[in-house]
Chains A and B, each alone.
Chain A
Amino acid sequence: MAATSQPRFAALSGVGLVAAAKEAGLAAFIALVLAITVIGMRTVDQQGGLGIEFRPTVVGIAVGLVFVGRFLLVLWRQRARPLDRGARERVMDRIGAEVLHYSKYAGISLFALAVAVPIIWSGNRYVVDVATLVLTYIMLGWGLNIVVGLAGLLDLGYVAFYAVGAYSYALIALHFDLSFWACLPLAGLFAASFGVLLGFPVLRLRGDYLAIVTLGFGEIIRVILLNWYSFTRGPDGLSGIPRPSFFGFEFTRRPAEGETAFHQLFGWDYSSMHRIIFLYYLILVLALITNFFTLRIRKLPVGRAWEALREDEIACRSLGINPTNTKLTAFAIGAMFGGFAGSFFATRQGFISPESFTFVESAVILAIVVLGGMGSQIGVVLAAVVLIGGTELFRELSEYRMLAFGGLMVAIMVWRPRGLLAHREPTLLLGRTTAAGGGGGP
């Protein structure tokens, strides 16, 4: 609404206030229409059916908030001439580039912090548990980032590979009595082959169709896990999944005859924290492997082909890149890391059931990638810390957690569609080396 001929900071004028009030009034009226039934009349269980509880104050608060919010937004837009999309993107790209520049140091300090967490809080199981959870999501985010961020394939069924990894680890470990270290690569291999199996027929599809099909596959796998009782024990889940050992040394107070337990190896007293801390370092190492792998593979021809394919598929084809094979490698590698994370999840929990692998889980992982900035490794870390760690902090508000997730996804897309720290740097520069930022898109 703001006229572009106005100076950047116009004085508050009466006309502007009235116009803002009018727009806010309109928004408030629409909010009233939306809120009056769904928020204002709550269905409650009563004797003999449902009753209605009227909540006019809640509606009033909601409508008032919308009015004030819209009023301030319109005023702000009148006073400070809003940047157009291009300018905003350029500013944010510059910030992204700065962050990337400093992320070398930030990465090292974050790594140091990550290593130090269990040493600082060695007595506090809760902190280490939350940190482990955050790291699991960081690893999943990095894995999905290969598929979504680098190759530009929107995968809404990533949790399927997480589930395949978890179940293959659990089933192999339970039936064949193999150790964690033997099962882990097998689980990754299974997940990767599932990636190829699912990816092969569908990767010819266009972006949004691909997204829906991957969502369908994710749900199919969950329904099969739920109903194939003889194999997966259905909704009861698999329990008694073997815990990992420290290269053969178990974390038990009293090891079996003739074996050495972890604490005896070092001559320490037994503590239940040993296993927790070991699991923490395990996921830290796994996540770092994912990160390292991604950083390196971006420099390889296949990694460059992914990013090229993301930008322009037709141009890639005309340059002789086989799109299906290239996408398939991204899909399989992303799936493999999902599978690793899945086996870690299984061994940490000791119990898995299809409950843990719903679409919401896929959406959370996707939200982490999208919010952090597609293709940005440090962005995934920040998003996972904020989204997973943040929700742990506000435990009592947990029912608003997914609401905030959804709202944030919309807001970020509207405000900055490629994610907060998205930064597309040419991986290869010819001649001049100054054009680091920008990129911009079609």
Chain B
Amino acid sequence: MEYFVQQLINGLTLGAIYGLIAIGYTMVYGIIGMINFAHGDVFMIGAFVALISFLVLGIAGVTWLPLALLLVLLIAMFVTSAYGWAVERLAYRPLRGSFRLAPLISAIGMSIFLQNYVQIAQGARVKPLPPLIQGGFTFMEHGSFTVSLSYMQIIIVVLTLALMTAFSLLIARTALGRAQRACEQDRTMAALLGINVDRTISLTFVMGAALAAVAGMMFLLYYGVIDFFIGFLAGIKAFTAAVLGGIGSLPGAMLGGLLIGLIETFWSAYFTIEYKDVAAFSILVLVLIFRPSGLLGRPEVEKV
């Protein structure tokens, strides 16, 4: 029982991170119908920018932790958004209206490019960061096994919830959100009604990248070690989450993220840790075969 609760906590934390990345996939897919394969690498860049900011702030003498965290968060979100914008501008925008596989191939190229760019700029070795936020609650002591809930895990879940709420409000209530939903339904009509479609799509990438930056920073703080390759697996799992929840659906992305996080954690805890990636990939395959519209998505109608 205690073991189960502990795995539940760990799984929810991991799921929150996946969910934040998954939002980037699901929004982009919703609005332009492409898989932004480079999104996982944008997440990786977010983690690197957060790491660099922490180190630079340490040199600059900002040692009060809440301030440092806030600054790092803002810097990481800003720089990573710039990356998201640039990726869209360079690799995807010229391809609008091209044949259907071109944006995906371009995205794969971009993903390879970003990985190697970071590898060359920052080195191939893993980058450790000493834990900054330590401690937590322990409860349900049972013999030698205690369930622990660290402050870090609380911060991750709370921050994710806050961002999710803010984000849902943004989509539902603001003019930008309306423009996004309009572009999602019918891009030509939206353009006729005076919506700047290119700008709206760019902003979608920017928002997705900003959320990925938050996820990257949380990943860095939670695991304490990153390298240039983390974006590949995290990206695939987040994409799986988006598909599982129903691609194009925001609550679906969050739900899918949590489910993938839980499945992966429980799989590692109760079966074999070696095959945990196989579990995620198998879910992706099974969902796509049996329920391509996901849990909360609407089925897609093929148009002639």
Question: Which residues of chain A have a CB within 8 Å of any CB of chain B?
Answer: 30, 33-34, 37-39, 41-45, 49-52, 152, 154, 156, 201-202, 204-205, 207-209, 211-213, 215-217, 219-220, 223-224, 226-227, 314, 359-360, 363, 366-367, 370, 399-400, 402-403, 405-410, 413-414, 417-418, 441-442
A217 touches B120 (CB 8 A): no
B59 touches A52 (CB 8 A): yes
B288 touches A205 (CB 8 A): yes
B302 touches A402 (CB 8 A): no
Given contacts A41-B52, A51-B55, A413-B105, contact A363 B112 (CB under 8 A): yes
B55 touches A219 (CB 8 A): no
Quote the shortest CB–CB distance from B99 to chain A (angstroms): 6
B289 touches A406 (CB 8 A): no
For A156, A209, A408, A414, the residue with the greatest tally of chain B CB atoms inside 10 Å of its CB is A414
* Cβ of B125 under 8 Å from chain A: yes
Quote the shortest CB–CB distance from B172 to chain A (angstroms): 28
* Cβ of B254 under 8 Å from chain A: no
Q: Which residues of B contact A409 (CB under 8 A)?
A: 105-106, 108-110, 112-113
A38 touches B274 (CB 8 A): no
* Cβ of B111 under 8 Å from chain A: yes
Q: Which residues of A contact B52 (CB under 8 A)?
A: 37-38, 41, 43, 52
Q: Could you give, for residues 270-291 of chain B, a 1 whenever the CB lies within 8 Å of some chain A CB and a 0 otherwise?
A: 0010110110011011001100
**Looking across the interface, which residue of chain A has its beta carbon closest to that of B124?**
A399
Quote the shortest CB–CB distance from A229 to chain B (angstroms): 10
B56 touches A213 (CB 8 A): no
Q: How far is the CA of A152 from the CA of B82 in the complex (A)?
A: 34
B302 touches A38 (CB 8 A): no
Q: How many residues of B contact A (CB 8 A)?
A: 70
From A30, A208, A403, contact of B35 by CB (8 A): A208
For B59, B91, B100, B285, the residue with the greatest tally of chain A CB atoms inside 10 Å of its CB is B285
Task: Provide the main secondary structure of the chain A interface.
Answer: helix
Task: Provide the main secondary structure of the chain B interface.
Answer: helix
Given contacts A43-B55, A215-B236, A418-B99, contact A49 B284 (CB under 8 A): no
A213 touches B48 (CB 8 A): no
Q: How far is the CA of A202 from the CA of B114 in the complex (A)?
A: 29
From B45, B128, B272, B289, contact of A38 by CB (8 A): B45
Q: How far is the CA of A132 from the CA of B172 in the complex (A)?
A: 59
For A212, A223, A403, A413, the residue with the greatest tally of chain B CB atoms inside 10 Å of its CB is A413
Quote the shortest CB–CB distance from A318 to chain B (angstroms): 10
**Looking across the interface, which residue of chain B has its beta carbon closest to that of A409?**
B109
From B104, B118, B127, contact of A211 by CB (8 A): B104
Quote the shortest CB–CB distance from A67 to chain B (angstroms): 15
Q: How far is the CA of A227 from the CA of B82 in the complex (A)?
A: 40
B122 touches A403 (CB 8 A): no
Quote the shortest CB–CB distance from B80 to chain A (angstroms): 10
Q: Could you give, for residues 122-160 of chain B, a 1 whenever the CB lies within 8 Å of some chain A CB and a 0 otherwise?
A: 110101111000000000000000000000000000000
Q: Which residues of A contact B83 (CB under 8 A)?
A: 34
> Considering the complex, which residues of chain B in the window 241-283 have a beta carbon less than 8 Å from any beta carbon of chain A?
243, 272, 274-275, 277-278, 281-282
Can you pick out 30 interface pairs between chain A and chain B where the beta carbons lie within 8 Å of each other?
A30-B86, A33-B82, A34-B86, A37-B52, A38-B118, A38-B121, A42-B122, A156-B108, A201-B285, A201-B289, A209-B243, A212-B35, A216-B236, A216-B282, A216-B284, A216-B285, A220-B278, A223-B274, A223-B277, A224-B278, A227-B272, A400-B116, A403-B117, A403-B120, A406-B111, A406-B114, A406-B115, A408-B109, A413-B91, A413-B103
Quote the shortest CB–CB distance from B207 to chain A (angstroms): 17
Q: List 5 tightest A-B contacts by C-beta distance, closest first.
A: A409-B109, A406-B113, A406-B112, A417-B102, A413-B106
**Looking across the interface, which residue of chain A has its beta carbon closest to that of B232?**
A359
* Cβ of B170 under 8 Å from chain A: no
B119 touches A399 (CB 8 A): yes
B49 touches A37 (CB 8 A): yes
Question: Which residues of chain B have a CB within 8 Å of any CB of chain A?
Answer: 34-35, 45, 48-49, 51-53, 55-56, 59, 75, 78-79, 82-83, 85-86, 90-91, 94-95, 98-106, 108-123, 125, 127-130, 232, 236, 239, 243, 272, 274-275, 277-278, 281-282, 284-285, 288-289, 292, 302, 304
Q: Which residues of B contact A51 (CB under 8 A)?
A: 55
Q: Which residues of A contact B129 (CB under 8 A)?
A: 49-50
Q: Which residues of B contact A209 (CB under 8 A)?
A: 243, 288, 292
B109 touches A407 (CB 8 A): yes
Q: How far is the CA of A209 from the CA of B284 in the complex (A)?
A: 10
From A33, A208, A413, A414, contact of B100 by CB (8 A): A208
**Looking across the interface, which residue of chain B has its beta carbon closest to that of A215?**
B236
Given contacts A43-B127, A417-B102, A418-B99, contact A205 B292 (CB under 8 A): yes
Q: How far is the CA of A400 from the CA of B282 in the complex (A)?
A: 34
Quote the shortest CB–CB distance from A405 to chain B (angstroms): 6
From B79, B82, B120, contact of A400 by CB (8 A): B120
Q: How far is the CA of A226 from the CA of B273 in the complex (A)?
A: 13
From A34, A207, A399, A405, contact of B112 by CB (8 A): A405
Q: How far is the CA of A52 from the CA of B54 in the complex (A)?
A: 10
Q: Which residues of A contact B275 (CB under 8 A)?
A: 223, 227
For B48, B90, B116, the residue with the greatest tally of chain A CB atoms inside 10 Å of its CB is B116
Given contacts A202-B285, A212-B35, A414-B91, contact A366 B105 (CB under 8 A): yes
Q: Which residues of A contact B130 (CB under 8 A)?
A: 49
A38 touches B91 (CB 8 A): no
**Looking across the interface, which residue of chain A has its beta carbon closest to that of B112?**
A406
**Looking across the interface, which residue of chain B has its beta carbon closest to that of A205?**
B288
Q: Which residues of B contact A224 (CB under 8 A)?
A: 278
Q: Which residues of A contact B101 (CB under 8 A)?
A: 152, 154, 207-208, 211
A43 touches B104 (CB 8 A): no
Q: Which residues of B contact A314 (CB under 8 A)?
A: 302, 304
Q: How far is the CA of A223 from the CA of B282 in the complex (A)?
A: 12
Q: How far is the CA of A132 from the CA of B56 in the complex (A)?
A: 49
Quote the shortest CB–CB distance from B275 to chain A (angstroms): 6
From B34, B125, B274, B288, contact of A213 by CB (8 A): B288
A50 touches B128 (CB 8 A): yes
Q: Which residues of B contact A49 (CB under 8 A)?
A: 128-130
Q: Which residues of A contact B243 (CB under 8 A)?
A: 209
B90 touches A410 (CB 8 A): yes
**Looking across the interface, which residue of chain B has its beta carbon closest to that of A226?**
B274
**Looking across the interface, which residue of chain A has its beta carbon closest to that of B97?**
A85
A417 touches B284 (CB 8 A): no
B102 touches A217 (CB 8 A): no
From B55, B278, B289, contact of A202 by CB (8 A): B289
Q: Which residues of B contact A204 (CB under 8 A)?
A: 289
B122 touches A43 (CB 8 A): yes
Quote the shortest CB–CB distance from A235 to chain B (angstroms): 11
Q: How far is the CA of A30 from the CA of B52 in the complex (A)?
A: 19
Q: Which residues of B contact A152 (CB under 8 A)?
A: 101
